[in-house]
Structure 1
Amino acid sequence: MPLKILIIGAGICGPAMATLLRRSDPGHSVTIVERYPEIRHNGLQIDLRAWGIPIMKRLGLLEKVRQVSVKEGGLALVDSKGKIKAVLGINDSGAGAQSFTSEFEVMRGDLVNILYEASMKDADEPATGKGDGAQDPREEDGPGIRYRFNVSVTALAQDEKGVDVTFTDGTTRRYDLVVGADGQWSKTRRMMFGEDIGGAMFRRLHVHIAYYTVKREPGDDELARIYHIGNGRSIFRRTGDRPFTQVILMARTESEEMRQAIERQPVEKQKEAFEKLFKGAGWQMDSRFLQGLRESTDFYADSLGQVKAPHAVKGRIALLGDAAHCASAVTGMGTTVSLIGAYTLAGELARHNDDVPTALQAYDANIKPYIIEAQKLTLGVPHILTLDSQWAIALLRFVVWLVTSTKFDKLIVKLAGENKGGLQLPDYPELKLAPATEN
């Protein structure tokens, strides 16, 4: 029986979930609401790993990802003068574990656009587009995928048969299922479990990150670089084959002042906090990156952490991706967590013939082993990215040089599997996708 479904958030999870739902049952009525005026095409470089690769292949979208992938040659450790001290290569063999640079490096905006276009290809009518989000409620009664921009949810009230949703435009509509795909600070999660409990599910790693782009210069090549400054700070520079260069500032600190200056604060306040912390850091910071920080129009900053939700469902409301299981950027698994969550939830709904309560309980139970593996932090992370002492930095550079010069790193990635914990992609023939094959 087709369902009337609301998805909150049009990032990676939302369009992926909508596409999976429609392919399994074209009769579903799927509405995606997004508080921004349109699909966001900006964002930093992300990667596709583990179960995310075969999911995109089953959706028929892996080649599209490959076509827009960033060509990056690995990661170099550099000193304060920019001199390369060691290089971690890439694993492009198609087998074994991925290194820092994965086989599928992609700009976030490109991946979101691929998933958005896939969802609209499967839709019966065009997206509502930009505007104030106004829409005739009767348009949601029939099958199709619809996007409503510039609108968000203010209240959720559910009973055994459905969820009444109140929107920022004052309207209230009823759905068989509501899916929260609204990020690590998920308002849906806080409405489900209460402000305090839902907020406390975000466990901070005491690391703050800032991202922005600067103009590409002749010395910016396909090799990414990390400069360990000391005192818990580091700078990444990533260009690949793009016409711009990404700057990523990372700071590990338990300072309450820094936290309050970053989390959900105005961009100018965030910029001031990072400028104060990184001024005089060395390498290209003062000569190039500070000016770029001040002038950037794509600046983004936040705290890194993981969401540890005991349950991802409550009644007829479910959480996806970062809203339920944020792995954090330091794991490299954020995109894959979004995809495996959408795939599992859509699969359970199809498997249980759209029996929402039963499907949600199965999703909540079956996704847990994948999340446990995805959230595991590599030994030393995030400290190894944000070292304190110059002695520790020198030791790290030497160890990386030794391991890579003896090619011991190649042996490690060859022996290690990319399917975390040996977990294979679950099979849901009910989703009516391409056969489940590895990358």
Structure 2
Amino acid sequence: MPLKVLIIGAGVCGPAFATMLRRSDPEHNITVLERHPGIRHNGLQIDLRAWGVPIMKRLGLLDIASKRCVHENGIAIVDSKGRKHAEFGVNKSHTGQQSFTSEFEIMRGDLVEVLYEASLKDPKTGVSGEAENEDAPGIRYKFSTWPTALTQDEKGVHVTLSDGTTKRYDLVIGADGQWSRTRRLIFGEEEGLKMFKRLNVYAAYYTVPREPEDDDIARFYHVGGGRGIAMRSGDRPETQVYLMARTNSEEVQRAVERQPVETQKAVFEKLYEGAGWQWERFRKGLRESTDFYADSLGQVKAPHIVKGRVALLGDAASCASPVTGMGTTVSLIGSWVLAGELARHKGDVPTALEAYDANVRPYIDEAQKLMLGVPWVMTIDSNWGVFLIRLLLSFFSFIKLDKILFAILPEDKGGIKIPEYPETNM
């Protein structure tokens, strides 16, 4: 039974789910809202792992995404003089189980564009999925628009939009990030915010002009004092800089979370005073950057990700945190399960959402597992701790422990397979 569906958020998750939903039933009427004036083409380097790789294959998008991948050959651990203490290469097995550097590293904006374009036109068949008008089957995007209120009954959801209009939908999906407005609307402001569990780590990302010595090996520098710096260039014309600081400071929290860029820049510049290595170069880049982004790292722990006919998806439902490397993948598996359950239950939205809430949980729990020592191992406090971790990583690099581990680990994270939904024809 065709549904009238509203998807809130056009990052990775929104277009991915729209694509899957459209392919499972071309008669669905799908609207995707995005508060920004267009698809955002900026963002940091992300990757595909575990279930994300075969899902992209089944969508016929893995080869397309691979052509846009960043060619990075591994990561090195360096000291303040830039000397390498350890180096871990990329896994080129073409499978989901990846090393510290994934074979499928891709800029966030590039992946969003691949999924956005696929939602509007199937790259395999060339069939357009774009709706001719508001009431026609297919997908339409509405930018610079967001929901301000949601009210629902047994048969649908009334949505009040930022432009003052009100629409009614059979199903509403919140795919609007870790600070999800949708989550706060359905569970209440305070409860929705409380579901975000902080790791007390704050991260910033921006790019700086590439220099001749910036090669295809990423580098990570333990600063000490709970701080770390990473840089990566791959085959791109600019060098990406990542700052990561662990602190219990409420002052830092207030200055970073959902604050103006200039306020965020000031707090990171203060945190990294005297950091060494290439900090003077990175400080200059921070001050001049136009693509600076910062936020608190954490995980969304929601007891349920469904309420009535509204469901949460991706970071809004189950943010795994960038330190797991599973954010993109958990968005894809969530979209896969939700689209599958809707197809299986043939228009019975409440039953489909109940099944989604239950059946996606093992994937969320597995994706949110933090590796031993994370995020502490990236944000070590003492100089003695930095010395020990470099020594340990040097030994692991020497015996090629990463290659041993990733050769024996199952492709599917935790050994959990992708569920099959023949009803979706994907």
Matched, 1:81 2:93: no
- The residue number in structure 1 matching 2:332 is 339
Aligned to 1:119, the other structure's residue is in SS state helix
Write the distance in 1 (CA, Å) between the matches of 2:212 and 2:147: 47
Equivalent in 298, 313, 318 of residue 305 of structure 1: 298
Write the distance in 2 (CA, Å) between the matches of 1:167 and 1:62: 35
**Preserved contact between residue 237 and residue 248 of structure 1 (Cα < 8 Å):** yes
Write the distance in 1 (CA, Å) between the matches of 2:227 and 2:131: 43
Residue 279 of structure 1: how far off its partner (Å):
2.2
Write the distance in 2 (CA, Å) between the matches of 1:104 and 1:95: 10
- The residue number in structure 1 matching 2:275 is 281
Matched, 1:153 2:161: no
The amino acid across from 2:369 in the alignment is: K
The amino acid across from 1:88 in the alignment is: F
- The residue number in structure 1 matching 2:6 is 6
Aligned to 2:16, the other structure's residue is in SS state helix
- The residue number in structure 1 matching 2:168 is 174
Query: Relative to structure 1, is the Cα distance of residues 415 and 261 closer, same or farther in structure 2, using a 3 angstrom cutoff?
Result: same
Write the distance in 2 (CA, Å) between the matches of 1:153 and 1:236: 37
Residue 395 of structure 1: how far off its partner (Å):
1.1
**Preserved contact between residue 96 and residue 416 of structure 1 (Cα < 8 Å):** no
Query: Unpaired segments of 5 or more residues in structure 2?
Result: none
**Preserved contact between residue 330 and residue 364 of structure 2 (Cα < 8 Å):** yes
Write the distance in 2 (CA, Å) between the matches of 1:60 and 1:82: 41
Write the distance in 1 (CA, Å) between the matches of 2:101 and 2:119: 28
Residue 96 of structure 1: how far off its partner (Å):
7.6
**Preserved contact between residue 124 and residue 143 of structure 1 (Cα < 8 Å):** no
The amino acid across from 2:199 in the alignment is: L
**Preserved contact between residue 19 and residue 118 of structure 1 (Cα < 8 Å):** yes
Residue 126 of structure 1: how far off its partner (Å):
5.0
- Taking only aligned residues, the RMSD between alpha carbons, in angstroms, comes to 1.3
Matched, 1:163 2:135: no
The amino acid across from 1:345 in the alignment is: L
- The residue number in structure 2 matching 1:370 is 363
Per-residue CA distance 1:77-131 (angstroms, 9 max, x = gap): 1111111111122221235831210110000000000000000115857589xxx
Residue 30 of structure 1: how far off its partner (Å):
0.1
Aligned to 2:298, the other structure's residue is in SS state strand
Matched, 1:259 2:291: no
Per-residue CA distance 1:340-390 (angstroms, 9 max, x = gap): 111110110001002100000000000000001000000000000101111
**Preserved contact between residue 222 and residue 228 of structure 2 (Cα < 8 Å):** yes
- The residue number in structure 2 matching 1:71 is 71
The amino acid across from 1:82 in the alignment is: G
Residue 222 of structure 1: how far off its partner (Å):
0.3
The amino acid across from 1:76 in the alignment is: A
Write the distance in 2 (CA, Å) between the matches of 1:320 and 1:66: 24
TM-score, length of structure 2 as denominator length: 0.97
Query: Relative to structure 1, is the Cα distance of residues 6 and 12 closer, same or farther in structure 2, using a 3 angstrom cutoff?
Result: same
Equivalent in 315, 328, 343 of residue 321 of structure 2: 328
- The residue number in structure 2 matching 1:436 is none
Write the distance in 2 (CA, Å) between the matches of 1:424 and 1:159: 35
Write the distance in 1 (CA, Å) between the matches of 2:220 and 2:401: 21
The amino acid across from 1:153 in the alignment is: P
- The residue number in structure 2 matching 1:144 is 138
- The residue number in structure 1 matching 2:109 is 109
- The residue number in structure 2 matching 1:135 is none
Query: Relative to structure 1, is the Cα distance of residues 408 and 384 closer, same or farther in structure 2, using a 3 angstrom cutoff?
Result: same
Aligned to 2:223, the other structure's residue is in SS state strand
Matched, 1:245 2:239: yes
Query: Relative to structure 1, is the Cα distance of residues 244 and 127 closer, same or farther in structure 2, using a 3 angstrom cutoff?
Result: farther
Query: Unpaired segments of 5 or more residues in structure 1?
Result: 129-138, 434-439
- The residue number in structure 2 matching 1:348 is 341
- The residue number in structure 1 matching 2:391 is 398
The amino acid across from 1:246 in the alignment is: Q
Write the distance in 1 (CA, Å) between the matches of 2:418 and 2:341: 14
Write the distance in 2 (CA, Å) between the matches of 1:337 and 1:95: 17
Write the distance in 2 (CA, Å) between the matches of 1:52 and 1:295: 35
Write the distance in 2 (CA, Å) between the matches of 1:215 and 1:418: 37
Write the distance in 1 (CA, Å) between the matches of 2:226 and 2:270: 14
Per-residue CA distance 1:112-162 (angstroms, 9 max, x = gap): 00000000115857589xxxxxxxxxx322201000001110000000000
The amino acid across from 2:38 in the alignment is: E
TM-score, length of structure 1 as denominator length: 0.94
Write the distance in 2 (CA, Å) between the matches of 1:268 and 1:247: 17
**Preserved contact between residue 8 and residue 32 of structure 2 (Cα < 8 Å):** yes
- The residue number in structure 2 matching 1:187 is 181
405-414 vs 319-328, which deviates more? 405-414
Percent identity between the two aligned chains: 67
